[in-house]
Amino acid sequence: MKAFANWVMKGRMQAVIAATVLAMLALLVTPLALLSSAVIVLTVQRQGWREGGLVVASALLALAGLGGLLFQMPLAVALIGAMLWLPAALLGGVLGSSGSLRLAIETAAIIAGGIVFAQYALLDDPAAFWADALNEFVNQRLDAEMLAGSNIGQLVDLMSGWMAGGVAATWLLGSVVSLCLARYWAALIDKPGAFAAEFRRLRFGRWLLLLVPILLVAGVLLTGGEPNLLSQLYLVGMVVFMVQGLSAAHGLVAEFGASPAWLFGLYLLLVLVAPQGATALAAAGYADGWMDFRARARARRSKTGD
């Protein structure tokens, strides 16, 4: 990883090549898009808006050329790159100017909220829009007999109602991964181990602690769980505090010198028991926002002389 980060930072051409190649490969292996965004975040974070903008512009031109050569769709492929890299450049700028991973993630959360608002503002009925999109996706991949004998229609109806917030929450989670990767790469270059220490201290602002319960009560509890604008925004808030829950878990494991197997089990829980595991972790992260479990653990250890 350090060798890759150093190579990307050697010059503009290396950053352009890395971002472009990873973005093209992401058309086959989707998670590679997170690495491509992380390259842009790293570039803007370390080299500023001007150099980062030149890298993004050059990479978009390269992506358009490859899109035209391989798929005869230069503008469509370039548009995908713009959707991937422009938010990453903005977050990289926030990270570079503030030096704060917390502020960068909070900015990403605000953008994710904007994605929800945009869907409700631009679409007459977001649920109907996503129902049509999901049905078309399913119809293209399953034959008529399989569709007739399944309850896929009910699943699509259930999912479509929450897609507006789900898309924003998924984008936010991907942005957090890209930000953490870029911050990790930067730490490998400048100060190995700094990212781990920063992530373990991660705690979000009081404004989110006050906003999320309002969204929960007004958007979920008072509406009987029916999808609406406020409940979709609540999904975004859940992702933020899920990240804080992970940070608290890493911090407590490090504070007590516990086995890394605890963290492995936690990540396994998130994969195997979703969404209940994610909800429980977000609740723990929210509680940490008020109670600061890590500070309490440090105080307890100092009192016992450990």
Beta carbons within 8 Å of 55's beta carbon, 6+ residues apart: 12, 15, 16, 19, 40, 43, 44
Cα 306 to chain center, whole Å?
Answer: 37
User: Distance of CA 11 to CAs 14, 92, 301, Å?
Assistant: 6, 17, 47
**Structure confidence at residue 94 (pLDDT):** 97
Q: pTM for the whole thing?
A: 0.95
Residue 64 CA to residue 74 CA, distance in Å, equals 4
**Structure confidence at residue 154 (pLDDT):** 83
Residue 96 CA to residue 105 CA, distance in Å, equals 13
**Structure confidence at residue 144 (pLDDT):** 64
**Structure confidence at residue 275 (pLDDT):** 85
**Structure confidence at residue 156 (pLDDT):** 87
Would you state the structure tokens that stand for residue 76, as one six-digit string?
Answer: 């469509």
* pLDDT (tens place) for every residue of the chain, 306 residues total: 899 999 999 999 999 999 999 999 999 999 999 999 999 999 999 999 999 999 999 999 999 999 999 999 999 999 999 999 999 999 999 999 999 999 999 999 999 999 999 999 999 999 999 999 998 888 887 766 666 666 787 888 889 999 999 999 999 999 999 999 999 999 999 999 999 999 999 999 999 999 999 999 999 999 998 999 999 999 999 999 999 999 999 999 999 999 999 999 999 989 888 789 999 999 999 999 999 999 999 888 777 655
**Structure confidence at residue 282 (pLDDT):** 97
Residue 204 CA to residue 104 CA, distance in Å, equals 11
